[in-house]
Amino acid sequence: MYERKELTRKQVDDVLGGDGAWDNVDQTATQCPVESCGFDKAYFFQLQIRSADEPMTTFYKCTKCSHQWREN
């Protein structure tokens, strides 16, 4: 015999800022990696997601097609 019990999960904040992550961010000149877009402007922000001796990670979002990518 056993009893199945559903456990509730904790609410966890989004590490990258959630819905408001792209509010009030800067723009830069970089090319979108999507072949059909290729636009040359993107929003960006940087976060330290690894240890302090590693470089910051840059997150991009294309201003035209909203594709998101990141670079070390």
53 is catalytic: yes
Amino acid 17: pLDDT = 63
So where are the chain's domains? 26-71
pLDDT of residue 14: 59
Given 13, 19, 35, 53, which residue is catalytic?
53
Reported as a single tens digit per residue, the pLDDT across 29-62 is 999 999 899 899 999 988 888 888 888 999 999 9
Q: CA–CA separation, 32 vs 61, rounded Å?
A: 8
User: Residue 62 annotated as binding?
Assistant: yes
Residue 28 or residue 16, greater confidence: 28
Q: Position of tokens 């999960």?
A: 9
Confirm whether residue 45 is marked as ligand binding.
no
Label residue 16 by pLDDT band (50, 70, 90): low
pTM: 0.66
Q: Confirm whether residue 65 is marked as ligand binding.
A: yes
Active site residue 71: no
- pLDDT at position 19, please? 66
How far apart are the C-alpha atoms of 72 and 59, rounded to whole Å? 9
In the CATH scheme, what is the code of domain 26-71? Answer: 2.20.25.10
